[in-house]
Amino acid sequence: MRRRLPSRNGIMSVWLLVVIAFMTAVLALVAREILKGRELAAGREAELKADWLALGALEYGRSRLESNAAEGSLDLPEGLSRGGKATVAWSRTGDNAVLLRSEGGAGEPPAARKSRFNVTLVRQKDRWVPSGPVERHEGKLSPR
């Protein structure tokens, strides 16, 4: 008479649990990478928006600059600053020169970003023109 071998149904259940645990770990890693990528994309979008708002504030300030204003500041209007805020400030640096500084902010925490730029303008005939390149500015925005 032949001996009967024990059933192996329990081994299949163990292998099934191992495969499910492995698949869960892989899917968790993929989900984490997707979320990390979305955070990076949101941060980059906020950074670009803050840059554009700050540069737009420089242009807005240059267009609104009066020839006799020693120093001052103004905010970019709501219609021009969708999705963020921007401020421009200016101060005299000489008889015919003005330092224009701008700050733009965009995004929601934790992806909120701020950008600051400055440029020196000189008076030529009836308009203000940049005397050099627009530079990224670090530090607090305030007229001198």
Domain containing residue 81: 9-136
The reply to whether 99 falls in a domain is yes
Q: Is residue 90 part of a domain?
A: yes
- Closest Cα partner for 104 from 133, 127, 75? 75
> Could you tell me if residue 141 is inside a domain?
no
How confident is the model at residue 37, as a pLDDT? 96
Cα–Cα distance for residue pair 90/68, rounded to 1 Å = 12
pLDDT at res. 144: 38
Within-domain flag for 72: yes
Number of domains in the chain: 1
Residues 6+ apart with CB under 8 A from 105: 50, 53, 84, 85, 86, 112, 113, 114, 115
3-class secondary-structure state, position 11: helix
Mean pLDDT by 10 residues, the chain (144 residues): 73 92 97 95 91 92 77 85 88 87 89 91 87 78 46
- In one-letter notation, the amino acid at residue 142 is S
Quote the CA–CA distance of 116 and 121 in Å, as a whole number. Answer: 16
Q: How far apart are CA 86 and CA 116, in angstroms?
A: 10
